[in-house]
Amino acid sequence: MPQGLEPPSAMVSTEKSAIRISELSHRYGPTVALDNLSLEIPEGSIFGVLGPNGSGKSTLFRLLSTLVPIQAGQIQICGLDAAEKQQHVREQIGVVFQSPSLDRKLTARENIEFQAALYGISKEQKAARIDELSKALAVQEHLDTKIDKLSGGLRRRIELVKGLLHRPRVLLLDEPSTGLDPLSRLELWKALVGLQKEHSTTVVLTTHLLDEAEKCDRVAILDQGRLLVSDSPEQLRSSTGQMVFSIATADPKNVVELLSTKYNLSGVSDHGMVRVVMQESAVSPMDLYEGLGSLATSITIGRPSLEDVFIKIAGKSFH
């Protein structure tokens, strides 16, 4: 484990857990998808499972949603053992898959009512819950519109209404922003934050989008089936002991060369900016500014991104 980052097992939380995963392993033939994974997800949080393709996050989602049997280890959801109390667990979770599950030939209301029938929700409860959730997710004006006439963002919110209709304590989302434009992604996130605040719903989402993970209360970073680290995005960035210098310049090539020869630092040029990630003790901002002289128009200092965290821990690029 790189210096400055504690192993996941050392990060003990005193918060009540909605989900507790212990020594979970899963294989597809000879391929290890999850390798002795242990993780706790705090109740009432928006929790992101971040990782590149092949990291194991999709397998974890299938196990949490009880789609595939547990091979080794244990999952507890709302205090229930997912292997022994599968039906009870399903009553506690709502699931929104990456692939749309809406019938495009039906209206939004018809899709939602079909979900109500699957869960045996009474006529009176169905009407009240559809009204409540459609208002909360701002889709009430679209309930009688056919799905194929709705935008991607509206469809996602209809999926959320379906997933929340039986009032689950935990909402599982697999790559929720897939196929959405930037505005629809913002609308979706606003809806998730509203659910968390107003209904204390625990939201667990898988994602490969770094900006989406940054918005979560807590993030678990997976790679090749292993948990690398889990904490708040801010704490993960701070724990690297690094800082990022963004240097505005009209001569990025010379800035990159000077950083290398004078400070032994590796700079990356991008559209008139040179970005440098370094240890906090490597060089002071004032020394760097004076050393670059007129080559630097301005220097902005910030914390690393989650991609920088991944690179430091895994020793490779995120993508």
Least confident window among 67-71, 220-224, 232-236, 280-284: 280-284
**HSE-up of residue 294 (Cα within 13 Å, Cβ side):** 0
CB 193 within 8 A of CB 174: no
Quickly list DSSP for 9-35: GG----SPEEEEEEEEEEEETTEEEEE
The pLDDT of residue 281 is above 80 = no
The pLDDT of residue 10 is above 70 = no
255: confidence class by pLDDT, cuts 50, 70, 90 = very high
Top pLDDT among 32 and 4 is at 32
Pairing of strands 218-223, 226-231: antiparallel
Quickly list DSSP for 214-266: HTSSEEEEEETTEEEEEE-HHHHHHHTTEEEEEEE-S-HHHHHHHHHHHH---
- How far apart CA 28 and CA 33 sit, in angstroms, is 7
38: confidence class by pLDDT, cuts 50, 70, 90 = very high
Q: How many residues does the chain have?
A: 319
pLDDT of residue 14: 52
Phi then psi for 217, rounded to 5 degrees? -70, -40
- How far apart CA 21 and CA 77 sit, in angstroms, is 9
149: confidence class by pLDDT, cuts 50, 70, 90 = very high
The pLDDT of residue 126 is above 80 = yes
Over residues 229-251, mean pLDDT: 91
pLDDT of residue 311: 82
Q: How does 232-247 read in b/e, with b if 16+ C-beta sit within 10 Å?
A: ebeebbbbbebbbbeb
For the chain, give the mean pLDDT: 89
pLDDT of residue 166: 92
What domains, with CATH codes, occur in the chain?
Answer: 8-237 (3.40.50.300), 241-303 (3.30.70)
pLDDT of residue 269: 87
Over residues 109-123, mean pLDDT: 93
Over residues 29-40, mean pLDDT: 97
Residues of the chain with pLDDT > 70: what percent? Answer: 95
CB 222 within 8 A of CB 51: yes
Of 105, 117, 205, which Cα lies nearest the Cα of 162?
117
39: confidence class by pLDDT, cuts 50, 70, 90 = very high
How far are the Cα atoms of 5, 22, 96, 117, 212 from residue 236, in angstroms, in the given order? 8, 22, 28, 43, 15
How far are the Cα atoms of 28, 89, 111, 166, 223 from residue 77, in angstroms, in the given order? 24, 7, 27, 16, 23
Over residues 179-193, mean pLDDT: 84
Pairing of strands 31-42, 17-28: antiparallel
